[in-house]
Structure 1
C-alpha cells in the first residue's frame, strides 16, 4: 500500500474544491429554466410550495442584478448613478487613482494647482446610498504643503468648508443630471 502524504497545499485545494462544489450544488434552477412548470415548481421543489431564503425576501443580488426602474438613477452599479456621474464630473480636473462603482468610492491622486505652487490636494468621495439624497455623498479632502526647505510634503489642515462645498457641487450636478434625464424621457 502506497501512502501519499497530505500537505497543507493539497488540503487547502481539496477544501476549496469541496466548497466550490457545494456552492454550485446549492444553486437551484429558476422559473426561466422550466417555462412549462408553474411558478416555483421544479426538480428541487416538486410540490411548488414557497420556501424561505436565507437571503431574505428579495434574495441575493450580485453585480446590479435585474434592472428595476425606481427613479434611483438606474442600475448596474451599486450606488445612485446620478451621484456617481456628478462626482466624476465635479472632480474631473483631478487625476483619478481609483473608482469603485459597486462600493461607491472614488479616490483621486494628488493634484497641484499650477496657480498655487507648494500645496496639493487629494479627494475621496463616498457615495453612501442608492437614492439621490443630500446625505448620500460624503467627501474627504486631504491637503499637503511642501516643507519650507522645498523638501518633502507635509500634511496640512484643510478648511472644513472645503468638503461641504465639494459635496454641494456634486449634489447640484446630480440634480441637473436627473432633471435632464426626466426631460429627455418626457420628450420621447
Structure 2
C-alpha cells in the first residue's frame, strides 16, 4: 500500500470520528449508542424536547414523518368541497385524514334534503383524490349524482388554484 492511500484513509476515519464527536452525544451517538438522560416527572429536558429524536447518522435518511403532524390533503379540494356543499351543515372535519361529514341540507332549487361524506385521500389535484358519498332521507343516492358532485368539487378546486397563482 502506498503512503497516499494510507493518508487518505486516515483523513476519512479522522473526519468521521470528528463528526461523531460533534454535539452533546459524543462518539456513542455515531455508533448507535446514546447518552443517558435522567427523566423527572415523565418529562424530557427542554433541550431534548426541541430537537427530533435521532439515534444514529443513518436515521437522517429514514422516512420518519409523523402521520399525526403531516397533512397530506389537497387544500384546493378541501376548500372546494366546503364551497360546493355550503348548503349542508358541516358536522365533522378532520384535515389529517381528509374526511368531512356534512349533515342534511337542501340544495338551492332542490326539493329533497341530502347529507354527504367527503374523503380527500391524496394531495394531488385529480379525480382519484376525492370520493363523495351522498345520502337522502330515503336512502342512498345514485352513483351518478355522487360523481356529479365530485366533478363540481374538482372544477371549483381548479378555479381556486388558478386564483391562487393568478393564471
Normalised TM-score (structure 2): 0.62
For residue 69 of structure 2, what is the aligned residue in structure 1? 63
Aligned to 1:175: 158
Q: State the shift of 1:45 in Å.
A: 5.4
Question: Equivalents in 2 of 1:181, 1:121: separation in Å?
Answer: 31
Q: Is residue 41–residue 48 contact of structure 1 (8 Å, CA) maintained in 2?
A: no
Structure 1 residue 160 corresponds to structure 2 residue 166:
no
Give the superposition deviation at 1:115: 6.1
Structure 1 residue 47 displacement after superposition: 7.2
1:133 paired with 2:138, answer no
Question: Structure 2, unaligned stretches of length 5 or more?
Answer: 1-17, 31-55
Relative to 1, partners in 2 of residues 1:183 and 1:124: Cα closer, same or farther, differing over 3 Å?
A: same
**CA offsets 1:131-182 (integer angstroms, 9 cap, x no match):** 212210000011113xxxxxxxxxx241221110010011001111111111
Scaled by the length of structure 1, what TM-score is found? Answer: 0.56
- SS for the counterpart of 2:92 is strand
Unmatched segments (≥5 aa) in structure 1: 1-36, 65-76, 146-155
| Structure of greater relative contact order (alpha carbons < 8 Å, 6+ residues apart) | 2
Q: Is the 8 A contact 2:74 2:122 kept in 1?
A: yes
Instruction: Give the drift of 1:103.
Output: 0.9
State the distance in 1 between where 2:108 and 2:124 align. Answer: 37
Aligned length: 124
* 1:43 equivalent in structure 2: 24
Give RMSD over aligned pairs. Answer: 3.0
Which structure has the larger Rg over C-alpha atoms?
A: 2
Runs of 4 or more consecutive aligned structure 1 residues displaced over 3 Å after TM superposition: 37-41, 45-50, 112-117
